[in-house]
Amino acid sequence: MGSRVLPSRLAIVARLALIVILAGIAAMAIVMAMAWSSAVTDTSGAVALDTELRIPPLAGSRIGPDGARVFDLEMRAGTADLGHGPQTRTWGVNGDYLGPTIRAARGDTVRINVDNELGETSTLHWHGMHLPAAMDGGPHQLIETGQRWAPEWTIAQPAATLWYHPHLHGATAEHVYRGIAGMFIVDEPGGPDLPSEYGVDDIPVIVQDKQFRDGQLDMSPALFAEAGVLGGDVLVNGTPAPYLEVTTERVRLRLLNASSARSYRFVVAGTATVDLIGTDGGLLERPHRVDHVQLSPGERAEIIVEVAAGTTAVLRSEPPELGLNFWTDRFSGGDDTLEILGLRAVDNLAPSPGPPPVLAAPRDLGEPATRRELTITSSSTINGRTMDMERIDETVTVGTTEIWEVRNATGDPHNFHIHDVQFQILDPEGPLQSGPKDTVYIRPGQVVRLLVRFEHYTDPATPYMFHCHLLAHEDRGLMGQFVVVEPGATATESSREHPMRNGARAGP
Ligand SMILES: [Cu+2]
């Protein structure tokens, strides 16, 4: 009789198991809900923007005995005030955080002495630069601590906003996050009349999001953040909560997304207009009036902003359009709104002409002879393979044009950067994709077709890189290698370049 009312031992176990499972599901749901609600950042109106924007100094240079323009860069550790007290441990170039702006002109032969005093191996890559592979500063051109690397090349490309940053395989995200990055401005003699007084009406705007823990930079990724580390603090040129005093009718902002994972959709709120004049690799054919500029990590844009006298406008980032599902979007910064930079126009602005109607001649990259398909198959693989320093993935013939079809076959955000070249995006989506580019965002499921011309430099033994510029992905191996060779030649055994070899002079 008792056996009918008392549950069997088996039934008790089953009931307990069910309770445990339900509790587990409930706990998981709570964790996911908490992560979901804490993963959105909105700082609009909540950041004072009352710290004067730091302008990175221009790097000094001298003319060497061989006629080259010589720059000296030293990578070193320091401390800086990034908004969380003065004792945040950082890295910088010739300073505590970030590096000086290098400015040189087309036709200049530059030699850059890079001294590594970081206490660990690094590299320095010239992002967007057309140059010999051995000078590129990729993962094969190691600079051991205490050593100097002195690449030299002749600048053979149009005026552009380029940048430099480490490219040590597996550690790029950390080295950039700690503070090694800077702008590299290429000027072109005889170019259009544009604001070009550095720090006055021609302003570097290096945008980086950060998170802090106990006053120190914190690189730990948030829960479910496949894209990598996202921070709620935005620094411009290393300045927290910055403003720029605008003293001319128009200012040229050189926007650089030097963040690890975050895309920004820049807008200027206030009484202001924005004309887009340039993309990664140089000027557009003509200016475009725009209401937003979206940049993924590594991308640049040049804009001319006109702020009404006596008013304050705000450069802000609205939720970027990343083409992700609602879950991934939330954990990739897709719902975030961020204050970037205040623009305080004085009452009496100095006159400044509008951008001329024609900025650059149309580019002709030639007819494509080869088509390559590259598919991003995960956050660590292209065409199913992870980066291998000893494997050359693609061999390209110098003096030819190719179409690279790059597909994002994942559900996550990725972009794609090719070293050495400025490609043309076929089927561009808006003016930002119509100019010379070296980095392009690719939505899940999207295929971008890139027209790429390879010129001047060959080296069958030293590869250039192509990769996702979300730095956590690059570090995990979402990267491949290509060499540019003479017609009929093949890649030779993977680079055994001595890392400390000083470059011989190279020119196109
Ligand atoms: Cu990626």
Residue 128 contacts residue 495 (beta carbons within 8 Å): no
The two tokens of residue 131 are 């140059």
- Decide if 55-187 and 202-350 have a common fold: yes
Backbone angles phi, psi at 425, to 5 degrees: -85, 120
Question: Model confidence over 431-452: pLDDT tens digits?
Answer: 999 999 999 999 999 999 999 9
The two tokens of residue 153 are 């090349």
What is the CA(88)–ligand 1 centre distance, in A? 29
pLDDT bracket for residue 425 (50, 70, 90): very high
Higher pLDDT, 232 or 29: 232
pTM of the predicted model, to two decimals?
A: 0.92
What is the CA(202)–ligand 1 centre distance, in A? 31
Q: Distance of alpha carbon 94 from its chain centroid, rounded?
A: 21
Per-residue model confidence (pLDDT) at position 493:
61
Question: Model confidence over 107-142: pLDDT tens digits?
Answer: 999 999 999 999 999 999 999 999 999 999 999 999
449 membership: H or E segment, kind and range = strand 447-454
Interval 77-85 mean pLDDT: 96
Residue 392 pLDDT > 60: yes
pLDDT bracket for residue 506 (50, 70, 90): very low
Residues 6+ apart with CB under 8 A from 331: 35, 39, 222, 223, 224, 225, 226, 227
Interval 192-215 mean pLDDT: 96
Interval 182-186 mean pLDDT: 98
Residue 22 pLDDT > 90: no
What is the CA(410)–ligand 1 centre distance, in A? 9
Please give the Cα distance from 180 to 78 (Å, whole number). Answer: 11
Range 202-350 classified under CATH 2.60.40.420:
yes
Q: What is the mean pLDDT of the chain?
A: 93
What is the CA(266)–ligand 1 centre distance, in A? 21
Interval 404-412 mean pLDDT: 97
Higher pLDDT, 364 or 2: 364
Residue 391 pLDDT > 80: yes
Query: DSSP labels for 200-253?
Result: TTEEEEEEEEE-EETTEE--PPPTT-TT----SEEEETTEESEEEEEEES-EEE
pLDDT bracket for residue 1 (50, 70, 90): very low
Per-residue model confidence (pLDDT) at position 4:
55
Interval 138-150 mean pLDDT: 97
Residue 494 pLDDT > 70: no
Q: Coil, strand or helix: which one is 258?
A: coil
Higher pLDDT, 57 or 354: 57
According to CATH, what is the number of the domain 368-485?
2.60.40.420
Per-residue model confidence (pLDDT) at position 6:
62
Q: Residue 47's closest CA among 235, 291, 211?
A: 235
Residue 125 contacts residue 164 (beta carbons within 8 Å): yes
Q: Distance of alpha carbon 117 from its chain centroid, rounded?
A: 24
What is the CA(204)–ligand 1 centre distance, in A? 26
Residue 207 pLDDT > 90: yes
CATH topology of domain 55-187: Immunoglobulin-like (2.60.40)
Please give the Cα distance from 319 to 298 (Å, whole number). Answer: 18
User: Which of 22-36, 141-155, 416-430 has the least mean pLDDT?
Assistant: 22-36
What is the CA(172)–ligand 1 centre distance, in A? 13
Per-residue model confidence (pLDDT) at position 498:
42
Percent of the chain with pLDDT over 90: 83
Strands 216-217 and 212-213, by their bridges, are antiparallel
Per-residue model confidence (pLDDT) at position 369:
94
What is the CA(380)–ligand 1 centre distance, in A? 8
The domain spans of the chain are 55-187, 202-350, 368-485
